[in-house]
Amino acid sequence: MKTNSLGFIGGGRITKIILQAFQNNGIAFEKVVVSDTNPEVLNALKLHFPNITVTTDNIQEVVQNELVFIALHPPVVMETIGKIKEMVSKETILVSLAPKLTIEKMAAALGGFANLARMNPSAAAVVNKGVNPIAFSHEMQVDAKNKILELVRSLGSTPVVAESKIEAYAVISAMGPTYFNFQIQKLKELAVSYGMDEKEAQSVITEMLWGTTETLFHSGLTYPEVVDLIPVKPMAEVEETIKGYYDQFLNGIYNKIKP
């Protein structure tokens, strides 16, 4: 059930991530068309993926493909849907990558369009390790769902979830790396300053993080028991402050993006 042609409305970072994931796995298409209003964005994308077709003004060329990703920020999605309503074939599959806008709302704006899904890709898809939840329109046929899943599972883990959970995944999995990247980088820098070489530091930190989640979630121990496994806790006095930041900022963004 191969997908032969792709369209992307929007050529920003998430489009680049998805195309890179496909390229990593050697997945090729007869045609890939990307539209964006910014020619510099398209030129940069074309430089990285020379076989794609790019356009700043021919959105019809994009939506005539088998599978079309709407890779836009929420404020412009509905306006764009209004533009493509009369261009989209009933056989085309549309996948919105935006939070906040429900399948029901987008389907209504498209005149009751059935082949509609929402997906929330994560940055780690660039190395095919993303968590990329997807929700489908209730009216979408099984064959169409399978066609999408066959393709997007190359991005990493692709759980099929209730649409009501998409925004939760956005905060926890899609934005999640931003909560840890700077801390992990700092740990690596400290490890190197203590005498490890960079490769050694990367290896030990990767294994430590894996072991941490395995112990916390799969050891059979309670949270207090897990915490008690390590007697020295250098960051203990700031833990409550850090947890307060999680409550403040993550609750804030979740309330902002939920429908």
Instruction: Give yes or no for residue 155 having a pLDDT over 70.
Output: yes
Computed over every residue of the chain, the mean pLDDT equals: 95
Report the CATH number at residue 216.
1.10.3730
Give the residue from 171, 202, 224 where a domain finishes.
171
Residues 43, 135, single domain; the answer is yes
9 and 133 part of one domain: yes
124 and 240 fall within a common domain: no
Q: Are residues 163 and 197 in the same domain?
A: no
What's the structural domain count of the chain?
Answer: 2
Mean pLDDT (whole number) for 115-121? 95
> What is the arithmetic mean of pLDDT over 42-69?
95
| Residue 137: CB atoms within 10 Å | 21
Which of 127, 155, 171 corresponds to the end of one domain?
Answer: 171
User: Which residues are 7's β-sheet partners?
Assistant: 33, 68
Pairing of strands 67-70, 5-9: parallel
Q: Is the separation of the CB atoms in 33 and 20 below 8 Å?
A: no
CA distance 151 to 143: 13
Task: Give the pLDDT score at 3.
Answer: 78
* Residues 242, 142 share a domain: no
Cα 21-22-28 angle, rounded to 5 deg: 165
Confidence of residue 90 (pLDDT cuts 50, 70, 90): confident
Task: Identify whether the C-beta of residue 124 lies closer than 8 Å to the C-beta of residue 101.
Answer: no
Indicate if 164 and 185 belong to the same structural domain.
no
Residue 2 to residue 27: CA distance in whole angstroms: 10
My answer on whether 97 and 124 are in the same domain is yes
What is the average per-residue pLDDT within 196-210? 98
- 167 with 216, same domain: the answer is no
Give the strand pairing for 134-136 and 156-157.
unpaired
**What's the whole-number mean pLDDT along residues 56-85?**
93
Distance CA 16, CA 44 (A): 10
The CATH number linked to 125 is 3.40.50.720
The residue range of the domain holding 31 is: 5-171
